[in-house]
Chains A and B, each alone.
Chain A
Amino acid sequence: MDAIVIEHLTKTFTPMWPWQKASTVLTDVSLRVRQGEIFGFLGHNGAGKTTTMKILLGLLRATSGKVELLGAPAGEVDAHARIGYLPESPYFYDYLTAEEFLTFYGKLAKLSAGSIRSRVPELLKRVGLDEARHRQLRKFSKGMLQRIGLAQAMVHDPELIILDEPMSGLDPMGRKEVRDLILSLRDQGKTVFFSTHILSDVEMICDSVGILARGRMLSQGRVEDLVGEQGAHSIEVVCDGVVGDEVPIVKQCALRILQKGSRCLIMLPGQEVLEEVLSAVRNAKGRLVSVVPHRGSLEEVFVEQSVQRG
């Protein structure tokens, strides 16, 4: 069973008054998140990530399409006992202390008093707020709020965790900690679905990605596949004892040649010409140092696709 199934989801905001214009924010969005994976939901500002997540949690209603979480239709409240959610730029009850706050959310998740008592200190430690446990949330910094928000999403040990830009507002250390946290959730067998517009986060920790642009899915799949598809065509060859520009075949095939003394870096457009170039280098008495397929980054995929179809 997939943790999240979205099929042909469309969302149109109907305004209060008939003379105002309706806006379609999501168009025919389909995606699947497998159980136990980390799924990165990528998209520019205003792409519709938050809207999609709100529909998943039943805060917004889908205009059409099918949305299921853990086998239950979106908005089915009982399934929420197994789901954790961190909204975008969350704002919490600032008159509660960190401990009271988590206790309240534990109660809402129907945890027993006993398990709340053991879970809360453990979680506070896990998100590094142990010392601030008796402090009111109004005295928290933005990063601390983000952490307590994460703790809140995990308090009931949910199977599926939905995080809307969990790393926003955090410093590099904080980002790393959140990344580690997400990875440790996967190690416990949880499914994590999170949105971001920062590619390096996704590239580092996600198993799968979905790219959303202007309310439509551009592509989705395994990170390696997406990156491989686009990036496999460029190869870097480094050799010694040749001047690239003086070998006609090399000069013909290379996209670019960088010469530094006797060392030469040859950038090739793809696999097809590799053999030819290597034998040419050998014939010219050159010594091969390395052949590296140049992996495209997710960033290239993202930019390329957004430009192509946007």
Chain B
Amino acid sequence: MQSVMAVANNTFRETIRDKILYNLVFFALLLIGSSVLLGTLTIGEQARIVKDLGLAAINLVAVIIAIFLGVGLVSREIERRTIYTILARPITRIQFVLGRYIGLAGIVTVNIVIMFAMFLATIWLSGFPIHAALFQAVQLILVESLVVMAIALLFSTFSSATLSASMTIGLYIVGHLTSDLKVIAEKSASQVAKAVMTGLYYMCPNLEVLNIKGQAASGVSLAIETQVLATGYGVLYAGLLLFAACLIFQRREF
């Protein structure tokens, strides 16, 4: 565990010092700021629009971090050959992968928390009400980022960073359209198409489950059971992907 945390800490420090994040946080600020501007232009429903745009900005930035840092988690260490000296230490490959993942999870969490704090401040300053639903929404954004990070990590254990990023983006989009997959499966005449679509439906992550931004912006809270279920689903899915990533990484040669 000590080794896992050492790797996690180092990952955290690496990202902080690489200064990639500053740009993203700046980007989030810009989005939140512009949502306030838009809110003043629109008559009525200002609160909903500001909240909707703000949550969307947080979500976007979190997912971008998750994808682009996620694909580099392991592949960058291999590319830069820093992995040689790490694996020459008394640390298993699984501990290494977990450490990298936990480190990035820390980064994503901290970023989401910072952006959310800025977001809440914006809302409060604009004099809009703050609902519990906003907290629920942002918590599920975090869970979604964990899933996306695990996807990115899994892909990057067997393909290049660029390819992994594209595949992760693809799966992210599909993950938001899974209900369409089900509809297509139900409507398709051919048995093969039906089977393929149903298979895809069950394999792809159902990321819509983790998206309650619209309803949260209107101030409608989620039932606590649904919240727990959605979180459990996301964490389990991420865990399975992480497990697969470890299995593949275990067999790799450098």
- Contact in complex: B89, A93 (CB < 8 Å): no
B194 CB to closest chain A CB (Å) equals: 33
Contact A95 B14 (CB under 8 A): yes
A91-107 Cβ-contact flags toward B at 8 Å (1 or 0): 11101100010001101
Cα separation A93 to B85 with both chains bound (whole Å) = 11
Distance in angstroms from A281 CB to nearest chain B CB is 60
In contact, B87 and A152 (Cβ under 8 angstroms): no
Is the pair B91, A95 in contact by a Cβ cutoff of 8 Å?
Answer: no
Smallest CB-CB separation from B79: which chain A residue?
A91
Q: A107-B2, A108-B6, A110-B3 are in contact. Are A91 and B80 (CB under 8 A)?
A: yes
Contact A95 B13 (CB under 8 A): yes
> In the complex, what residues of A have CB within 8 A of residue B86's CB?
108
* Interface class of chain B by DSSP: helix
A81-129 interface (Cβ within 8 A of B): 81, 83-87, 90-93, 95-96, 100, 104-105, 107-110
Cα–Cα, bound, A60→B252 (Å)? 8
Partner of A108, one of B14, B80, B91: B91
Complex Cα distance, B7 from A104, in Å, reads: 8
How far does the alpha carbon of A81 sit from the alpha carbon of B91 in the complex, in Å?
A: 9
Q: How many residues of B contact A (CB 8 A)?
A: 24
A-facing residues in B66-92 (Cβ within 8 Å): 80-92
Please pick, from A60, A77, A87, the residue contacting B85 in the complex, using a CB distance under 8 A.
A87
| Interface range for A | 20 to 34
Which 8 residue pairs across A and B have the least CB separation, nearest first? A85-B88, A95-B17, A107-B6, A108-B89, A87-B84, A81-B90, A80-B90, A59-B254
The interface of chain B, by Cβ under 8 A from chain A, is 2-3, 6-7, 10, 13-14, 17-18, 80-92, 253-254
Which residues of A are in contact with B by a Cβ distance under 8 Å?
A: 54, 57-61, 77-81, 83-87, 90-93, 95-96, 100, 104-105, 107-110, 149, 152
A–B pairs, 6, beta carbons within 8 Å: A59-B84, A77-B90, A87-B81, A108-B89, A108-B90, A109-B89
